[in-house]
Amino acid sequence: MEKTWILIANGERARCFERAPDHSLTELTDFVFPRASLSGQASGGDLTGAAGKGHGRTGHAGTQFEPRTEAQDKARGSFARQLADYLNDSVATQRFSALVLIASSQMLGELKPCLSMTANNALKRTVASDLTQFTGPELKKRVDRALELPD
């Protein structure tokens, strides 16, 4: 029997569920990316990635600046890597065989490239939707509706 996991995520929270054949959802784990880490790091370190003096790719003296990346974008990328590591490890140990991602479009964009080849092969569906605030029967109803949408 195929075990299906559903990851519901946005840039701050993710919940992983196992979906039974009767479509009931059993929550396996809950991830919360603390926003406090952003404010704590912002005062002590530069999360913007804006300045970087040095020699450019051409090798002559000068200043090269890295593209500006907002702290929130970096935090979302870090959180996406954490989630992907969890999924990659879980599929490698055969805890699931099918994967569905229901996440905000930004999180999908960050998360999908971090998935291993095995996790990508298990990926059956992606849906751009943020369902992290829903619980219980309302969550189940919205997940069922999201999975009924055409690809």
What average pLDDT does this structure show over 68-86? 84
Pick the CATH number of 4-35+71-148 from 3.30.70.260, 3.60.21.10, 3.30.420.60, 1.20.1260.10: 3.30.420.60
Whether residue 138 is predicted with pLDDT greater than 60 in this model: the reply is yes
Q: How far apart are CA 71 and CA 91, in angstroms?
A: 30
What average pLDDT does this structure show over 43-62? 44
What average pLDDT does this structure show over 109-133? 96
Pick from 47, 101, 118: which is nearest to 78 by CA? 47
| 3-class SS letters over the chain | CCCEEEEEECCCEEEEEEECCCCCEEEEEEEECCCHHHHHHHHHCCCCCCCCECCCCCCCCCECCCCCCCHHHHHHHHHHHHHHHHHHHHHHCCCCCEEEEEECHHHHHHHHHHCCHHHHHHEEEEEECCCCCCCHHHHHHHHHHHHHCCC
Residue 70 region by backbone torsions, left for phi larger than 0, else alpha for psi between -120 and 50, else beta: beta
Q: How far apart are CA 147 and CA 150, in angstroms?
A: 8
**34-52 per-position pLDDT tens digit:** 764 444 444 344 444 444 4
